[in-house]
Structure 1
Amino acid sequence: MTTRTAPLIALALVTSSLAGCGSSGPPAEPPVSEEALAAVTAHPGAPTRPLARAADDLFTLDGLGETRALVVYHGGRMAVERYAPGYDKDTRFVSWSMAKTVTAVLIGMLVADGQLRLDAPAPVPRWQRTGDPRAEITLRHLLQMRSGLDHTEAGDPPWESSEVRMLFLDGRDDMADFATAQPLEAEPGTKFEYSSNTTVILADIAARALTDSRDPDERRKAVADYLEARLFGPLGMTSVVPEFDRSGTLIGGSLIHATARDWARFGELLRNKGSYRGEQLVPRAWVEEMIEPSPKSPQYGLQTWLNRPLPEGEEHPLFPDRAPHSAFSLIGHMGQYVFVSPSQKLTVVRLGHSNAPERKAMLQQLADVIELYPET
């Protein structure tokens, strides 16, 4: 080796060593798994790999709880479909409080049929006695969760809450009788209080509109047949199993079972303002009414959660800072969501099991999926 070439070789070795030790940017993300990519369809309406990764994180990241199903529709077409082990496209998932929005649609169809009136006193027989202040409660008050009734959704201890007593204890055989028997704690219309008892009252009102019979079997049949003929059948929701109490009242605040695909079909119906394949199953004006904010709760419409901002410092059930304010959602206990964003042509179904802290983190991850879709 000549004295002239030796420094050049040394310089090359040093440069190579420095290049190996240095960093030109953040570390590369791990590759997207084949399972994650397989969950995304050929035309998802968003970049495939980022979408697959964001969806995959819902199933794999720690601290989000257990995601059991994810279905994304964009522009009326399936974009993502994925299930955790033990679940698939035929699994029926319990609605929990997502059922409330189904009950609102049931009421809306009966209003359109002329059977009920939105701003008339709610037709509850026990409230019509002379001097009963509950006679001032309207159907709209019930739908917007501002009846003023003394209903406590979550209590301490839990078994003293109105919801638990109605569903599992002294009210379980005739839930509407239990719910309508409660006194007022506020003037009707003046206070927002979320309540599964309230939705059962609505379900009972629907049954009374459809049949004069008090026979439980007749009440069940009247409501089930109406929903099948007017909503579930035409929409192709073939998996739906609604539950009824012993008196024949639909447990319309908590217990309707359906596959993730069928929950997506219901979300798509609302995204399209009640229209399905050219048929107006639910009046357009009613769906628009469902997503109008209540005067006592900007985040709530008619049995439907809205992505509208709240005053600073108040906790929001959705994420108005990360998705359009026109978006809305069905929300059920332990992290059931059918999120609908018309301006993004988007319906997202997430079903699973997440506790309260996990839901906060999971919602941010769900927002990562939703943010991949631009508004149109």
Structure 2
Amino acid sequence: MLRFATPCPKRVRAPSLAVLALLAACSQDGPAPLPPLPEGAMEAVVTDPGVPREQLARAVDDLFTAEGIGTTYAVVVLHKGEIAAERYGEGMSEETRFVGWSMSKTVTAVLIGMLVADGRLELDAPAPVPSWQRAGDPRGEITLRQLLQMRSGLRHREGYDPPYESSEVQMLYLAGHDDMAAFAEAQALETVPGEEFRYSTATSVILADIATDLIAPDGTPVQRQQAMASFLDARLAAPLGMESMVGEYDAAGTLVGGSSIWATARDWGKFGEFLRHGGSVKGAQIVPRRWIEFMRTPSPASPDYGAQTWLNRPSGGDRNELFAARGPDTAFAAVGHLGQYVIVSPDQSLTVVRLGKTDGPKRHALVEQLADIVQLYPGR
């Protein structure tokens, strides 16, 4: 940053306030002092957050006040399992539920992990989708692992232009709305399973459907919904203390596991802490540690993606979901549409939750602001 020196008076016959001010400016070293924080910014940060309190307060404040990053509704920073900072936008509070959008995918992956641990699913066996099991159907070779790593080969086109031709829009709001899994599973193969990474909300709905079929085989839509809601609560929400967690279901009773799980900011933070601890809560292993390690392992088709989870690693292309150049490659995140983030960095004992509304062109600037918070904390 360039700093221009203030011209100093060569001769002064008598001191004055103006002269004294000039002399003070002449002797000033370093950058100009930072402006005072807005009222309430410091109160959002605990007395000892593990880093300089004012620096963290400024970084959090930037998420609410900086231009060009959209609108932030909630921020929760947890360090070593304790809330270091917490702040909400106008009209929001710790009681407000927020939709996770695609952060729901990471929750769905945990549910699948529980069923694998129960011995009811096999990671490298063909995915148990009945419509794919007919003789000669090449989709019958798609494995559960390939679905989890977004490399099924199915003709799912996320974020397509025009939007109404996108697979997720068609599934969520148009032709597939009543039975989303049937829509997702009906798509043909476009590439050989396992070869190409293709991010897809429809794929996550297939995973949710597989789970629901196991939990409520041959159930009516109402029975399917009730069974999955009970499973989600008993196996995940209750052990983690996520009392606010709730999912949405389509008319067929399938959990909309790619986009529609809701929770408060604090409860999203609890989910991040659960992942940071390798699937355990207070010493109780809710899902096997090796499953969380699998979720954090780069896919063969995409170095910045694991299993329904984004990794803080270079993509090898133009995609930059996180901040690989500014944080440890052991960090990972659940990431959702419009800038929902649960960022987890085990090496820094850190979980950062940001919820809000940020359109695509502004996402890079938002991620840089989030990186500012992560970089405040030292690693091991």
1:375 aligned partner: 379
Cα displacement (A) at 1:224: 1.0
Q: Secondary structure at the match of 2:326?
A: coil
Gaps of 5+ in 2: 1-10
1:322 aligned partner: 326
C-alpha distance in 1 between matches for 2:21 and 2:220: 85
Q: Which deviations, in whole Å up to 9, do the C-alpha atoms of 1:87-113 show, x marking residues without a partner?
A: 000000011100000000000000000
- 1:349 paired with 2:353, answer yes
Q: How does 1:50-61 map to 2 (within 5 A)?
A: 50-61=55-66
Q: 2:260 aligns with which of 255, 270, 295?
A: 255
1:358 aligned partner: 362
What RMSD, in angstroms, separates the aligned Cα atoms of the two structures?
1.5
- 1:97 paired with 2:97, answer no
C-alpha distance in 2 between matches for 1:308 and 1:129: 39
Q: 1:169 aligns with which of 167, 174, 198?
A: 174
- 1:76 paired with 2:77, answer no
Q: Which deviations, in whole Å up to 9, do the C-alpha atoms of 1:287-331 show, x marking residues without a partner?
A: 0010000000001001000001233x5221100111100000000
2:13 aligned partner: 10
C-alpha distance in 2 between matches for 1:17 and 1:278: 61
1:144 aligned partner: 149
Cα displacement (A) at 1:256: 0.7
Cα displacement (A) at 1:18: 4.4
Q: 1:214 aligns with which of 215, 219, 224?
A: 219
C-alpha distance in 2 between matches for 1:105 and 1:16: 66
Sequence identity, in percent? 58
Q: Paired residues, what number?
A: 368
Q: Which structure has the larger Rg?
A: 1
Cα displacement (A) at 1:253: 0.0
Change (3 A) 1:301 1:20: same
C-alpha distance in 2 between matches for 1:355 and 1:100: 20
C-alpha distance in 2 between matches for 1:19 and 1:83: 44
1:4 aligned partner: none
C-alpha distance in 1 between matches for 2:280 and 2:47: 26
Q: Secondary structure at the match of 2:139?
A: helix
C-alpha distance in 1 between matches for 2:310 and 2:22: 56
C-alpha distance in 1 between matches for 2:240 and 2:168: 31
Cα displacement (A) at 1:15: 7.0
Gaps of 5+ in 1: 1-7
Q: 1:242 aligns with which of 243, 247, 263?
A: 247
C-alpha distance in 1 between matches for 2:184 and 2:20: 77
Stretch moving more, 104-113 or 38-47: 38-47
C-alpha distance in 2 between matches for 1:12 and 1:211: 87
